[in-house]
Structure 1
Amino acid sequence: MDTSQNPTLDGPQDHHPHCFHQNVIVMRHGDRIDHLDPTWVSKALRPWDPHLIDAGKVRAFSTGRRLRTQLGFPIHRVFVSPFFRCIQTASQVIAALCAVDDDPANTTADGVSIDPSKLKVSIELGLCEILNRENVKLELDPKFENWGFNISELEAMLPAGAVDHTVEPLYKELPQWEETTIGAKARYAEVFQALADKYPLENLLLVTHGAGVGVAFSAYLKDITVHEIDYCAYTHSSRSIILGEDQSFTAGNFEHQGQASINYST
């Protein structure tokens, strides 16, 4: 990667000309319709894939605005779960991150002018919901496989010009139905690390599900109990990156830097 063409993460660190800090934000999606209206499931064509309610869009947009104004560093790349609620959340957050002359009166992405060159976004199947009955609370056939995710259609729902079609996803297909919760949490940890290693000179935003945020939050904090992860809650971690002359890199360990809307105890 030509670092002269890419904004530095936090700028050179520790007086080393090739040392940077990589930041990773892991965020939950916004407010979903089936939690507001439990009867929605019985009427929906895709009951496993609820959309955001209006309040969820507002929350996602405001969270994106807060990230843009308070983080102190840019987001270069976004990865998002294929579930509709995550796609909608990512769309709102990206609009807030890329807003041009953002009007404080804006509460959602509707009518907001954006500069899509500020970041790139891709769908990553490895960030999907835990695919078992405990988390997808529906009576599905044990051999259920037809989730019906059309990647091209989902990409079209993201801000125009921001989608990076050149990215090779880590997961070429969804995990098998009835994966274990322990196995899924290991999947989240694996995907988080792999994406960070794949783009070591970029700050990442990963839009996923509550369990994924819990994995990212508890990974670097010992002896904590997570009680609740609110909609659009997120956790922030960072690590040092030393870039070699041959474009190889040496990475430090990720360290927890902060969180928002996560209720926990020690």
Structure 2
Amino acid sequence: MSQTEAAVELRAGNLTCYFVRHGERVDHVDESWAQTAPAPYDPPLTQEGRRQAQRTGALICRLEQEGEGAGAAQQTSYRILTSPFLRCAQTAEELYRGFRREECAQGSSSSKGSPWMVAVEPGLSEVLSENYFAQRPPDGIIAARRGEIAGGAVCDGMAHDDAYVAARDALPGYPEHFQDMMARFVATLDYVAGTLLAADGPRQVVVLVTHGAGINALLWATARQLRGSDVPYCCLSRARVVSRLPQQPSDAPRMPGHMWAVDYQAYSEHLFPRL
């Protein structure tokens, strides 16, 4: 496909992506935690982090109800793709719990006809910067997390999508530099969008649970904006795919392969009580 070819318009509303940063992590609250932790590179959420994720799940439910209505939502396929790090998988679990709780509060059953699926996507991993990691975390956390999900130790209530073929099989190289991280997230988003759009079926919603750097990269890929450090825990972004862009030459810098309409960017007002 040449650079002169036009973008291919896609069916409106066929794919909606939510981007969510994980919730508050325990080592950012308890500095002594890592001193005795068996896996200090992979901290869990705090209880506040779990509450943050539940609030964000409730917000996703409300946005789905407002945007699509209960009837359309019943024809929607929901899935979560999570970074293999524990704080993200736990965030995914609480997002789902918050979504279901909000459904019950509204007396709705919008998504109960289609079970939520969850899968690990290593392409959503934390940036493996020397500023964050003294050494490369083991690839074994990927299989471990998938096993925990399949066994119900995390992401309880959702079905493990063991048929999902991830964009990549391993964690990034170490040390990972900014441009490499950006290219990884662009490639992962393009892969996810292309895979889901190729499947016949109902409207699809996919929640990508990742890290602060990843949210920045995904917003650049969809809205062409970087937010720097302004990416709060459990902030929410929403992007709807509009068209497929012409393929770039193989020697060109990695550019997004789809055009997106973005209406929420690192939104976090739902996390704070109104006075």
Highest RCO, 1 vs 2 (Cα 8 Å, sep ≥ 6): 2
Determine the C-alpha separation between the residues in 1 that align with 2:19 and 2:56.
12
Determine the C-alpha separation between the residues in 2 that align with 1:146 and 1:239.
31
Choose from 26, 31, 39 the match for 1:46.
39
Structure 1: state its 5+ residue gaps.
1-15, 105-113, 243-250
Question: Quick check: 1:23 aligned with 2:32?
Answer: no
**Shift, 1:145, TM fit:** 3.7
Determine the C-alpha separation between the residues in 2 that align with 1:222 and 1:175.
23
How much is the aligned-residue C-alpha RMSD, in angstroms?
A: 2.8
**1:180-259 paired onto structure 2 within 5 Å:** 180-200=177-197, 201-221=203-223, 225-240=227-242, 253-259=259-265
Alignment partner, residue 250 of structure 2? none
Aligned residues: 225
Structure having the higher helix fraction is 2
Question: Residues 146, 81 of structure 1: CA spacing in aligned structure 2 closer, same or farther, 3 A cutoff?
Answer: closer
Report the secondary structure of 1:231's partner residue: coil
Note the alpha carbon deviations across 1:2-31, whole angstroms, 9 max, x for none: xxxxxxxxxxxxxx9x93322111110000
Question: Residues 225, 206 of structure 1: CA spacing in aligned structure 2 closer, same or farther, 3 A cutoff?
Answer: closer
**Shift, 1:98, TM fit:** 3.5
Structure 2: state its 5+ residue gaps.
1-8, 198-202, 245-256, 270-275
Note the alpha carbon deviations across 1:188-212, whole angstroms, 9 max, x for none: 1110121011112522110001111
Q: Is the CA contact (8 Å cut-off) linking 2:127 and 2:176 kept in structure 1?
A: yes
Determine the C-alpha separation between the residues in 1 that align with 2:225 and 2:84.
32
Query: Which is further off, 172-181 or 20-29?
Result: 172-181
Query: Which is further off, 206-215 or 70-79?
Result: 70-79
Query: Which is further off, 169-178 or 221-230?
Result: 221-230
Question: Residues 196, 222 of structure 1: CA spacing in aligned structure 2 closer, same or farther, 3 A cutoff?
Answer: closer
Q: Is the CA contact (8 Å cut-off) linking 2:243 and 2:259 kept in structure 1?
A: no
Note the alpha carbon deviations across 1:127-172, whole angstroms, 9 max, x for none: 1111122233xx33x7x64654412124431123422121112212
Choose from 165, 168, 175 the match for 1:168.
165
Report the secondary structure of 2:232's partner residue: strand
For 2:213, the aligned partner's letter is A
Question: Quick check: 1:94 aligned with 2:96?
Answer: yes
Percentage of identical aligned residues: 24
Q: Is the CA contact (8 Å cut-off) linking 1:131 and 1:175 kept in structure 2?
A: yes
For 2:268, the aligned partner's letter is S
